[in-house]
A and B are shown apart, each in its own frame.
Chain A
């Protein structure tokens, strides 16, 4: 039955790691996966934020997430994240590679001003991290021997010109490419690899009237006249991490309100031809 296929409570109960899982989109997806029955492992750099997120999820679901402070730019820390997960929960089923930073050093700069270190940092935090965690997860899933899911998070900026964050966009384009190649490599192991490509999505509810108005205003430029809200990624993540998507791999799911389906005319631009052209 379709609703059963969307559950993650097993048996066996699925174990999901979410990098960047303490805030924003990662936190939203972690909450949704936990609600669908998974045991979740939250990884990010800041312990206090991990503790807060874990406490909330524990209250919401009655199950305690594991928290593992991790810098996903470090290969060894990604390996340790998976090892700690196996030690604590005894298995791994789902790796959500969500960690990434858009407005990192160098964002907004022109290419002639950008130094090597800024470029490397951007590529490392957004692309290397996905490689490190995917490799660590693939090793564990392969050894475990009953398949699994890798879910990457890219960005709509990877698919269009993104002059103000071209390093980020390039790294995320790399994530999309990695998704496709790894899907082919890992399908023989029963591991599905997919990607979510978010457009403009607010990371948290507005904290002030000023922020509320800013978000409202930015939303007017989007097809659906609003920005996405982080929770909207939750159901999509559950679908892609569960058996409900059993015939889906190598695929990137855009969630952007329709921006990428349009974007060749200003939002709300209405085509109207002169009378007599046969197309009024």
Chain B
């Protein structure tokens, strides 16, 4: 089975049912499928072939959803790019995967300057909404997204299928410890397997109405759309959780049954006074990205007494690892659960041997949801994907340290690297440090995560200045905000005369962190 079949099969079963609600727009399965078909023909017409990468650089929107399915229908590989990405990084990603197509907002062309035109493999750009400065795109084929949807009636049928399920469907760029984002390669089989396992344990059905406030560049957000279509349900897309009461109103107005959150959203929800509000339609809340604090779980259950809460854990490289069956949440509130259906998880020591219950080791994941590797990074791929049980099989070494109890439930212990998790997303300290070093006057920089009630971890930059240099916290943050996605911008900057070093002369992140957190890391 291929991922675009989620939409196509539901369009056959429920043609008139509302598939997607976004702002004031409501699209039936038939409408959405036909529009995706038209866009797919536009992609094929512009030269997109089987296996070609096409980037979607849009806010959560109808156009973003149409684009994802159109790219799949055209036989291509989609990548959803964070809508707050800055020009340099967009250019890096497009060049890295040699994207042939790009769908972006017309009003961002100017802000991107010549970045897009400079990506030589890129052939075609589709612009959503009014645009200006199209001359900046120089020799690219430029099309209006709306015009692409106005194709002849004959193009409302899907282009003929070209892919099989072991072909790539998506690249999801994720932060790596090297500071450069890595493209996680996912096949149709990977995505269909993960979506099947997840919708099974969530007991989803076609009556579900799922509210997604997370960006589609984040796999957790993307999967909400994919899974809603798989089950023939309805997805309600919001651009963000910025205005929390707007989201509460949406839950009530649209009779939302499923609400996926990250700990930051739960922290904001718990700051609202919702004592007089009832949520009769809401069936479940899922949480992933980082474990919910036990206190959050307790208060969420008070706030939503009739709602089932799923505590989960995962990483982009296999989508999801585990879920805690809801009946276990009072028994093992600190556990992120056990492997999902059709997937095996175990803990190994440094030598790759399985460890007994209770011992801490690296979590290993085995299943058809495990990625094919990182795009054109064989060494990094080999560090994560290692030989499994059967000949030629690869299993995923997650880099996350866990222990497992006697009954197979997992407890998070820590990470093997220094990746920061903030607002549910991974941030590479190296990537932020590279940006800091590019600022005149910065001599040394160490970026660390500080425990934070709302963000999970807050990002703190600890820096030293070159002799004679004068920089304020605001100047440093402004420099970062102009170059990094919003969630990667530090919350604070600390200036020091020097940074602690290891014996080999490297900056000791551990000591920097110990000082900043008062030694309680």
Is B one of A's binding partners? no
User: Residues on A close to B: CB < 8 A?
Assistant: none
User: Residues on B close to A: CB < 8 A?
Assistant: none
